[in-house]
A and B are shown apart, each in its own frame.
Chain A
């Protein structure tokens, strides 16, 4: 069964600290993996997208890694800010259909405290 599992479910950190969020998936075949940020009451916004051949990609203070062999990804946030408080969703796409079906994780709820 194709699944995307994220950990931790929730995380509280102090402003300025770093943190790492994890994503494990069993989706096969694999096309690409995205990390989305979803602010409370808003729709998800894409942060990064990586294909099989990419193992790291940065977007400002966000750095995503991908190990396609172990089917694991991480999202590292550096020098956290209050505005980083949000749910971070890992989304994996297969290439088994023209739709390029997306499999969503449940997200990690990050809270940054001052």
Chain B
């Protein structure tokens, strides 16, 4: 079992609220990622980080922002939540293992914006 944690697991919030989704890993991985996944759909990369003070936008445009002040912590923030942000958000971290990098995923945060 991977040592990567996400809180909260479920969040129901009203439109316009600011929210922060937490992600922490204790494996010492430099690379971390945020994915968005809708039911029955593929994962879409929205943010990634190669290490402290490094953040990049992923393939899917997102109004969220991320920060990487500590290696183990990669929070995602939505300044003003909207119903279109309703989705599952998965955090992952990775380490190089021989032939390639394996990503270890957290349990996800299911967000519902009313």
* A interface residues with partner B (beta carbon < 8 Å): 4, 9, 31-32, 34, 41-46, 49, 51, 89, 93, 99-100, 102, 104-107, 109
Contact = CB atoms under 8 A, between A and B. Distances in A.
Nearest to A109: B40
B102 A46 contact: yes
B106 to A, nearest CB: 5
A106 B42 contact: yes
Interface in B85-114: 90-92, 99-108, 110
B41 A43 contact: no
A102 B45 contact: yes
Contacts of A104: 42-44
16 contacts: A9-B40, A41-B107, A42-B108, A43-B4, A44-B105, A45-B2, A46-B102, A49-B99, A51-B99, A93-B100, A99-B48, A100-B100, A100-B101, A104-B43, A106-B40, A109-B40
Contacts of B40: 9, 106-107, 109
A43 B42 contact: no
B105 A45 contact: yes
Contact of B41 (A4, A41, A49, A106): A106
Interface residues of B, number: 24
B42 A107 contact: yes
Contacts of B105: 43-45
Contacts of A42: 107-108
Given A32-B100, A51-B99, 10 more contacts: A42-B107, A43-B105, A44-B43, A44-B90, A45-B2, A46-B103, A89-B43, A93-B101, A104-B43, A106-B40
A104 B110 CA distance: 20
Given A104-B42, A104-B43, A43 B102 contact: no
